[in-house]
């Protein structure tokens, strides 16, 4: 593959993922509004937000590390785009290799990493509180998240290839149709709420407490980049869960594509429901919850998987 | 050929001795001599790599693996010498320093190249002595930690000698390549563990790790970067892999428990050391706990006993020495310019030291296993090995995977803490005068950070070398990573282009906004406060209190037991002469009675 070919592929994915992501965020916002008995924004609201932000002035704090401050939001966007591209390549082109599961797990930490670096480089006090929370959140959800990816990997014959996991599910039925599968699905669903950073785990931004936390100093298109990255994560993370637990069917035929979209929407709606029915947790509660109960249940899930239940 | 190799060894020892007797006032001579010697060693190793893939006699063991290790030993020595050119400028003990460095170089290469067990143990012993001497250079404050190091490392060397004697007793052979023992009885297990003990103490694996955090506070960063961070890891894991892959045969029925124990040690090392690291306030101590924690990955990988695990573990050994010395050099840069290593007292110097900052960031991302840097690929192979093993249906493998992965997340968290509290975050007022370090301290960090990137994108080359040298061939699957790497590469270029566009845009400088209030000093939050919540949790708080009281420190435990036993004897030492005389009289009577019986 030549560089120009990959480059055009990347740009194409970036555009596609941004559009889908902004739509997904709209679904999330609209559903939230309906649950709260409001009308909600029109479908183009998120696009309008991004366009408006790109027209605004960029402010940089005096004490900020300029390089890190500007590069972090860009890093957030490109890393989430890479995750999305790999997942799309797996789904559409059937391009996969042993170990892409591990690569994705590691790549999915980079958006959080870039939020932390960006917040840290702004030199703001409230941003420091925000990144402190984000770091502990990262530590907390990572443990059950790992349990949640080990379960389907073992179920599909100890593989680390997403393609193999999909193929296995097409032959033997989705991973979720077993006791350990249900446990794994619940665990990974909750921990991915932390990964995306939505309520009840949005304490790193927490507008009402620390005024946006890590993002407090960001404005203009740089803030827009962070919003875009979060929207892309709204696509990537649910897709990842669909592949691991819900059969992750191929999207070559029209009916297959439709079923796939429905599965994706189910996961997205579940995340939105969790976010709308729970209050924001404190960091020590989150730590105890993730490292305590959720991990214990996760380990139980692995034991059940190994015994074939 | 043999003569050339022996000549090379003597070159190191004699030029070291020469440096020892050059007075400190004579400038640049020692630097030039030691630099030249290390360049000769490097050139020799590279030439061997190119021309002589195998040369195995009764005395020398020169294969791809040992040559590859020797290349990096020489490279790290060269970089350390370049670094010390500015770091140890006008240093009164510089003649001792250069002498010991050259001796360390010569004896490490000797240990790596020797096939004779006795020769190997001699070189290994010299390494323990030079380590002790180098630690003592940093001043009298370092005497106690240096003594502790000597007792742990030197004590484990005696285990090595015991193990070697056992090997010779069992097989009657002296050459490493001829021996291949099948573990069947208690004696063989004893030999196995004494050899493992020596290698793990050198590499700094738990529970023999305590010397590394102990020496880190007072020792100069450059010595930390040279010995515990890079050379000791290379040598310790080199011995470890020779023991497991060459000296002993794999016996699935009996061996499996031993390998299980090693894996347990490995994963405990990863998690416990990194949990200790995240609460440290001293930058060098924090880095030293990571030097311990990373050994866990190597031990875990190699004791996986499949191709991916072994190659991954060895690759991780190499990667670890690259980024760990990079990080210690970075810490040295900060210490040199600010005279401070306490994280609370630093902040916001990334702006003034851009090269140190960027290279430190690369090192931190590599050690945390963020793709596309080198640390990711070795961890990736180790995970592949572990996942492959889950096929057996044993529960242990899932636990090892969880330990390794959470260890990597915790590593990332603790390095972000350093980055926040040193380079980013709030700028301290007294740090306004800080400037970037001199060229000779910048060159090593730039070279090492480029190695982190080169071994990331070009991971195939070192992996191939380890594959060929250990005869554990990976399946082709991992090569499919390359298209994803290309994607990452292209996207990073894309990101930089966007960044360059942004640099051009006119931006407005503003003050930070804290709800409209004026920022006070009390509001500032250093990275050291990040993990206080974790420290306060019931389980962790007990663990940290235990660690503070050195309950997990084998050296201190042993000392406590000794003192406890000695309590009674001590009570008799009153210092009164007549009491002693009475004791002597009693003793004589006792002896008399005993001898009367015979």
Interface of A with B in 90-129 (CB under 8 A): 95-100, 102-103, 105-107, 109-110, 113, 116-117, 120-126, 128-129
**pLDDT recorded at residue A98:** 66
The confidence score (pLDDT) of residue A136 equals 87
What single DSSP character describes residue B373?
S
CA pair distance B259, B257, nearest whole angstrom: 5
**Considering only residues 32 to 91 of chain A, which have any Cβ-Cβ distance to chain B shorter than 8 Å?**
57-63, 65-68, 70-71, 74-75, 77-78, 81-82, 85-86
* Candidates B384, B388, B499; nearest CB to A74: B499
| pLDDT beyond 80 at B514 | no
- For residue A132, the distance in angstroms to the closest alpha carbon of chain B comes to 5
Interface test with B, best of A85, A97, A286, A301 (most B CBs within 10 A): A97
Domain coordinates in residue numbering, chain A: 3-306
Q: Tokens 């120009």 label which residue?
A: A4
Write the ipTM.
0.90
Provide the pLDDT for residue B446.
92
Q: Is residue B427 within 8 Å of residue A123, measured between CB atoms?
A: yes
Which 3-state string (H, E, C) describes chain A?
CCHHHHHHHHHHHHHHHHHHHHHHHHHHHHHHHHHCCCCCCCCCHHHHHHHHHHHCCCEEECCCCHHHHHHHHHHHHHHHHHHHHHHHHHHHHCCCCCCHHHHHHHHCCHHHHHHHHHHHHHCCHHHHHHHHHHHHHHHHHHHHHHHHHHHHHHHCCCCCCHHHHHHHHHHHCCCCCCHHHHHHHHHHHHHHHHHHCCCCCCCCCCHHHHCCHHHCCCCHHHHHHHHHHHHHHHHHHHHHHHHHHCCCCCCCCHHHHHHHHHHHHHHHHHHHHHHHCCCCCCHHHHHHHHHHHHHHHHHHHHHHHHCCC
CA distance A82 to chain B (A): 7
Is A300 touching B (CB cutoff 8 A)?
no
pLDDT in tens, B260-279: 888 899 898 998 888 888 88
- Judging contacts by C-beta atoms under 8 Å, the chain A residues touching residue B369 are 106
Closest CA to A158 of A149, A309, B478, A247: A149
- Residue B321 pLDDT exceeds 80: yes
Rounded to 5°, angle at Cα B208 from B204 and B210: 80
pLDDT higher than 80, residue B440: yes
At residue B478, does pLDDT exceed 70? no
Tell me: pLDDT of B44 over 80.
yes
What are the distances in angstroms from CA A62 to CA A55, A121, B152, B499, B531?
22, 11, 50, 19, 28
Nearest-CA distance from B4 to chain A in Å? 45
Instruction: Examine residue A200 and say whether the peptide bond preceding it is cis (omega within 30 degrees of 0).
Output: yes
Instruction: Please state, in angstroms and rounded to a whole number, the distance separating the CA atoms of residues B4 and A137.
Output: 58
Residue B62 sits at φ, ψ, to 5 deg, of -115, 100
Of the candidates B371, B480, B494, the beta carbon closest to that of A78 is on B494
pLDDT of B381-433, one tens digit each?
888 888 888 887 778 888 898 899 889 988 998 898 888 888 887 777 777 77
The band of B323, judged by pLDDT with boundaries at 50, 70 and 90, is very high
Is the model more confident about A217 or about B159? B159
Task: Check whether B203 has a pLDDT greater than 90.
Answer: no
pLDDT higher than 70, residue A251: no
Choose the closest CB to A139 out of B380, B413, B478: B413
Query: What angle do the packed helices A220-245 and A45-55 form, to 10 degrees?
Result: 140
CA distance B367 to B362: 9
pLDDT band at B477 (very low <50, low <70, confident <90, very high): low
Q: Is A250 on the interface with B (CB under 8 A)?
A: no
Residue B476 has pLDDT above 60, yes or no: yes
- Are B508 and A102 inside 8 Å of each other by CB? no
pLDDT of residue B360 exceeding 70, the answer is yes
Q: Please, are residues B401 and B386 in contact by the beta-carbon 8 Å criterion?
A: yes
Query: B147-161, B241-255, B373-387, B418-432: which range is least confident on average?
Result: B241-255
Rounded to the nearest 10 degrees, what angle do helices B283-302 and B186-203 cross at?
A: 150
Tell me: the pLDDT tens digits for B489-498?
888 888 888 7
pLDDT tens-digit series, residues A99-108: 788 888 888 9
H/E segment holding residue B278 = helix B252-278
Residue of B nearest to A71 (CA): B499
């Amino acid at each position: 593959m030549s560089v120009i070919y990959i480059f055009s592929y990347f740009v194409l994915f970036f555009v596609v993922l941004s559009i889908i992501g902004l739509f997904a965020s709209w679904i999330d916002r609209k559903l939230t509004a309906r649950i709260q008995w409001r009308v909600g924004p029109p479908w183009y609201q998120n696009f309008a937000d991004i366009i408006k932000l790109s027209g605004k002035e960029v402010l940089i704090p005096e004490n900020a590390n300029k390089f890190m401050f500007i590069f972090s939001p860009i890093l957030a966007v490109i890393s989430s785009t890479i995750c999305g591209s790999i997942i799309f390549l797996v789904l559409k082109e059937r391009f996969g290799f042993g170990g892409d599961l591990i690569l994705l797990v590691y790549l999915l930490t980079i958006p959080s990493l870039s939020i932390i670096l960006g917040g840290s480089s702004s030199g703001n006090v409230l941003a420091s509180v925000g990144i402190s929370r984000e770091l502990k959140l990262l530590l907390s959800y990572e443990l059950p998240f790992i349990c949640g990816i080990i379960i389907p990997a073992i179920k599909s014959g100890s593989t680390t290839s997403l393609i193999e996991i999909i193929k296995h599910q097409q032959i033997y039925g989705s991973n979720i149709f077993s006791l350990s599968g249900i446990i794994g699905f619940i665990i990974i669903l909750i921990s991915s709420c932390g990964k995306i950073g939505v309520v009840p785990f949005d304490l790193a931004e927490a507008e009402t407490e620390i005024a946006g936390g890590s993002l407090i100093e960001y404005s203009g298109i740089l803030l827009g980049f962070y919003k875009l990255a979060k929207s892309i994560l709204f696509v990537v993370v649910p897709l990842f869960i669909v592949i691991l637990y819900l059969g992750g069917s191929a999207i070559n035929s029209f009916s297959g594509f439709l079923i796939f979209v429905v599965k994706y929407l189910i996961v997205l709606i579940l995340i939105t429901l969790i976010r709308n029915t729970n209050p924001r947790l404190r960091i020590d509660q989150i730590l105890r919850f993730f490292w305590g109960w959720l991990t214990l249940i996760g380990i139980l899930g692995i034991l059940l998987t190994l015994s074939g239940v | 050929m043999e003569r050339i190799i022996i000549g090379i060894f003597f070159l190191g020892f004699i030029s070291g001795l020469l440096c020892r007797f050059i007075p400190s006032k004579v400038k640049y001579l020692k630097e030039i001599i030691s630099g030249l010697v290390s360049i000769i060693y490097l050139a020799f190793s590279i030439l061997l790599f190119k021309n002589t893939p195998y040369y195995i006699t009764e005395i020398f063991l020169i294969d791809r693996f040992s040559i590859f290790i020797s290349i990096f030993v020489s490279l790290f020595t060269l970089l350390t010498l370049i670094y010390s050119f500015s770091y140890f400028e006008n240093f009164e003990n510089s003649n001792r320093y250069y002498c010991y460095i050259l001796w360390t170089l010569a004896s490490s290469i000797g240990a790596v190249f020797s096939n004779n067990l006795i020769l190997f143990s001699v070189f290994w012993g010299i390494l323990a002595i030079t380590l002790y001497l180098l630690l003592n250079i940093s001043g009298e404050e370092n005497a106690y930690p240096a003594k502790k190091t000597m007792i742990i490392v030197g004590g484990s060397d005696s285990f090595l000698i015991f193990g070697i004697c056992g090997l010779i007793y069992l097989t009657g052979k002296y050459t490493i390549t001829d021996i291949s023992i099948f573990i069947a009885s208690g004696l063989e297990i004893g030999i196995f563990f004494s050899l493992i003990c020596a290698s793990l103490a050198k590499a700094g694996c738990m529970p023999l790790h305590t010397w590394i955090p102990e020496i880190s506070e007072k020792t100069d960063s450059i010595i930390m970067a040279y010995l515990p961070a890079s050379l000791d890891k290379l040598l310790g894991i080199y011995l470890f892999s020779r023991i497991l892959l060459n000296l002993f045969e794999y016996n699935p029925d009996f061996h499996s428990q031993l390998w299980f124990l090693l894996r347990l040690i490995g994963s405990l090392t990863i998690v416990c050391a990194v949990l200790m690291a995240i609460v440290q306030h001293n930058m060098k101590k924090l880095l030293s706990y990571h030097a311990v924690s990373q050994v866990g990955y190597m031990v875990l990988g190699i004791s996986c006993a499949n191709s991916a695990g072994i190659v991954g573990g060895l690759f991780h050994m190499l990667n670890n020495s690259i980024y760990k010395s990079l990080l210690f050099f970075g810490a040295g840069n900060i210490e040199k310019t600010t005279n401070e290593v306490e994280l609370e007292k630093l902040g916001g110097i990334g702006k003034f030291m851009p090269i140190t900052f960027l290279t430190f960031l690369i090192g931190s991302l590599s050690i945390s296993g963020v793709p596309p840097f080198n640390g990711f690929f070795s961890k990736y192979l180790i995970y592949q090995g572990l996942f492959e093993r889950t096929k057996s249906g044993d529960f242990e493998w899932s636990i090892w995977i969880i330990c390794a992965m959470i260890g990597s997340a915790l590593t990332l968290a603790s390095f972000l803490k350093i980055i926040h509290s040193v380079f980013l975050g709030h700028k301290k007022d007294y740090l306004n005068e800080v400037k970037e370090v001199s060229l000779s301290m910048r060159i090593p960090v730039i070279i090492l950070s480029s190695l982190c990137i080169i071994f990331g994108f070009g991971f195939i080359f070192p992996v191939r070398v380890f594959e060929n040298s250990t005869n554990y061939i990976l399946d082709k699957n991992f090569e499919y990573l390359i298209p994803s790497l290309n994607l990452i590469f292209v996207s990073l270029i894309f990101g930089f282009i966007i960044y360059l566009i942004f640099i051009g845009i006119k931006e407005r400088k503003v003050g930070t906004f804290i709800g409209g209030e004026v920022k006070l000093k009390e509001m500032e939050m250093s990275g050291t406060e990040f993990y206080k919540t974790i420290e306060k949790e019931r389980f962790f708080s007990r663990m940290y209190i235990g660690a503070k009281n050195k309950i997990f420190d084998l050296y201190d435990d042993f000392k406590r037991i000794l003192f406890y036993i000695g309590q009674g004897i001590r009570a008799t030492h009153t210092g009164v002469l007549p009491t002693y005389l009475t004791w002597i009289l009693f003793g004589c009577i006792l002896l008399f009675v005993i001898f009367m019986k015979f």
